[in-house]
Amino acid sequence: MKPKRTMLVVAHVERPAAVRAARIVVGRLTAAGVTVRVLASEAAELGTARTQIAPATPRAADGAEMMLVIGGDGTLLRAAELARPAGVPLLGVNLGHVGFLAEAEPEDLSEAVDQVVEGKCEIEQRMTVDVAVRANGDVTTMTWALNEASVEKGARERMLDMVMEVDGRPLSRWGCDGVVFATPTGSTAYAFSAGGPVVWPEVEALLLVPISAHALFARPMVVSPRSVLAAEVIGPAWGQGETSRAVLWCDGRRRVDLDPGARIEVRRGRQPVLLARLRGVSAGAETGTTFTDRLVAKFDLPVAGWRGKGDRRQAERGGMAAPSGATAARQGPAAARQGDEEPGGDA
């Protein structure tokens, strides 16, 4: 006899659309004979009649086959804190603003759940970073991030004075608003806003992106995934009077206050985050939307005039190429959703 399948459903319960979608997911999974688990903090909104209830702790995902996350990237980052310790893959349904981490859109919801039930998923590993904070040589904090670890000024009116280091060697000293240490997954998040490059998820690398640095050499840098990056907080830039504290943020969720003299070390994470990818959902591609299609759709990039293989095949058959990728993503329910998007970094 096969063991009972269990899946954890997490939603942005402050958004009615996410609650409605989550209830649909719970209903379809339950009807397929899958045991559904929800977090205690979300049980009242999602319904508890036929679900297991688990406290929102790192043990919440233990024994689950998958986590289905309904919301934006911020909701998925919150869910990753539960999924990573258990080694459980995440599948996101995007109800947010950009949704780079999500695999399916609301219009794909029924098909996505059916494929999950049928096991038609591929699991993708995403790099993380492990972050250590040192004071006087001693480790005071250990944490991690999926998207990025950012060191930022604690006071709006004061800049930071920091020295950057790569693999134990000094790189440069900057008066700046901060620095972003990002993964390829995070290259389309905070690092992108700070002027960093877009890195395809399968590329193994670490990114170092300064934030508003006053220096001749302050370019975004891409380094080996085996490198160790470090930032040392000297204090307020250019001898400004009082001390300006710095703040470490990991994925915009976990905060550590930093005193002058603090050292932040960033290296490739020992444990990745697992993302589930579906076949044929959201763009008709072989395993869901390709990252290129996702970029075009999310940033509404102009691609008119493209004469790629898909168009040529359709022309040879005497037909017109069907909308795919960005074109499909901009049609139908997705356009209607724009007025109901959650702000970036939802939780």
Q: What DSSP string describes 213-256? A: --SSS---EEE-TT--EEEEEEEEGGG-SS---EEEEETTTEEE
Positions marked active-site: 73
pTM, two decimal places: 0.85
Can you read off the two tokens belonging to residue 98?
């950009």
Domains by residue range for the chain, with CATH: 6-126+273-310+324-340 (3.40.50.10330), 129-268 (2.60.200.30)
Q: How many CA atoms lie within 13 A of 3 on its CB side?
A: 6
Low-confidence ranges of the chain (pLDDT < 50): 282-288, 313, 315, 317, 319-344, 347
Per-residue model confidence (pLDDT) at position 224: 98
Per-residue model confidence (pLDDT) at position 346: 53
| Residues 77-108: tens digit of each pLDDT | 999 999 999 999 999 998 877 678 888 888 88
Nearest to residue 120, comparing CAs of 94, 151, 91?
Answer: 91
CA–CA dist 160, 134 (Å, integer)? 18
